[in-house]
């Protein structure tokens, strides 16, 4: 389970960079990522990279600026 101190996100050069405390075991990190985004008002799903550090996400944000605002 994650908390505010174990999650950080920022937009860097048009890329969402996220840090999680969850371990990448049996999808725990993927679940934590989606849960934390949802908690911040971002609906998202993983399109690719389920077993990789780099993922392609689809979100409900209309722009990177909107996504950045939701993550503040």
Summarised one tens digit per residue, pLDDT across range 14-37 is 999 999 999 889 999 999 999 999
Tokens (6 digits) for 32? 């934590």
For CA atoms 6, 34, 36, 59, the dihedral sign is positive
* pTM of the predicted protein model: 0.85
Angstrom CA distances, 6 to 1, 19, 57, stand at 9, 7, 20
Q: Which two tokens stand for residue 8?
A: 């950080």
pLDDT of residue 3: 44
Angstrom distance (rounded) from CA 8 to CA 19: 5
Q: Mean pLDDT of all residues in the chain? A: 90
Count CB-CB contacts under 10 A for residue 16. 20
Q: What pLDDT does residue 29 have?
A: 94
């Amino acid at each position: 389970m994650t908390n505010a101190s174990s999650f950080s996100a920022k937009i860097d050069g048009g890329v969402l960079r996220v840090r999680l405390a969850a371990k990448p075991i049996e999808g725990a990190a993927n679940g934590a990522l989606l849960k934390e985004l949802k908690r911040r008002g971002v609906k998202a799903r993983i399109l690719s990279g389920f077993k990789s550090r780099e993922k392609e996400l689809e979100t409900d944000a209309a722009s990177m600026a909107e996504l950045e605002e939701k993550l503040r």
